[in-house]
Structure 1
Amino acid sequence: MMTTEAKPLRVLFCIAVQQNFFDLPAAEIGTVWKAFGTMLNDLRNLPGVTILGTIDDDQTMVGTSPNGWPWTAYILADVPDHATVVAGCNLFRTTPVGEYRLWKFCRVEARIGRELVIPNL
């Protein structure tokens, strides 16, 4: 019997910066960026996760993200399973930023799909 290895999920983590970030005094903004870097490293280090690319559109989108598209930043990754996607999103709940967590300053939504493959016609 031939077995096929499961293909990874193609996931787009869509990230919005919240007003709480913009309300911070300039001296405290660095703590959020440090936490964001920690979250990104922790996401990259989840078993089976391959980050394919990131996009930050902060140069052409100033201020908070509205409820929905467009988002402020995106992380495109191959992820082995749904539980790992959930673990990636959970990093926003658990990554500390002083006495708060990262989700006070950013929110995330994961879009799950598969690699777009055009068949030979």
Structure 2
Amino acid sequence: MSEKKTLRVLFCMGINQNFFDAEPAEAKAVWAAFGAMWNGIHNMPGVNVLGNMDDDQSMVGPSTSFPWTTYLLADMPDIESVHAACNLFRTTVVGEGPYKLWKYCKVEARVGRELIVQS
């Protein structure tokens, strides 16, 4: 039986207009929730985060599709872990609630595999 390969996943994250409309205290709570989600992905069993990129200096305003605001590249153990990472946007509470992180940002997970070029 062959060894199960990890999935190479690019999490593409976009900040939406609700964040830009938020009062400073609300925006600070969103940033804290975003950090909790971010660390949640990093701390998932079997996840190896390879890198990230933030596009906030050359992109202004909300991101509803490509180009995204920020990216996280990780090797994930299986598709269920990819779904669990995406679910953090639905379950991470912002501040004292009632809103969750997905009110302020979205995620799209691009799932593939590592490209290995044979010479």
TM-score higher than 0.5: yes
**Structure 2 CA distance for aligned equivalents of residues 103 and 6 of structure 1:** 32
Please state if 1:108 is matched with 2:99. no
C-alpha deviation, 1:46, in angstroms: 1.1
Note the residue ranges of structure 1 that are not aligned, 5 or more in a row.
Answer: none
1:81 is matched by which residue type in structure 2?
D
**Structure 1 CA distance for aligned equivalents of residues 17 and 39 of structure 2:** 24
Within the candidate set 74, 89, 94, 2:91 is matched to 94
TM-score, length-scaled by structure 2:
0.94
C-alpha deviation, 1:30, in angstroms: 1.0
| Residues paired across the two proteins, number | 117
The aligned runs of 1:16-55 (5 Å cut-off) are 16-55=14-53
SS at match of 1:97: coil
SS at match of 1:12: strand
SS at match of 1:75: strand
Cα displacement string for residues 41-94 of structure 1 (whole angstroms, at most 9, x for unaligned residues)? 11111111111111110000000013x211000000000100000000000000
Q: CA RMSD in A?
A: 0.9
C-alpha deviation, 1:28, in angstroms: 2.1
Structure 1 runs of 4+ aligned residues shifted over 3 Å read none
TM-score, length-scaled by structure 1:
0.93
Please state if 1:81 is matched with 2:78. yes
2:83 is matched by which residue type in structure 1?
V
Aligned residues with identical type, % of pairs: 59
1:110 is matched by which residue type in structure 2?
A
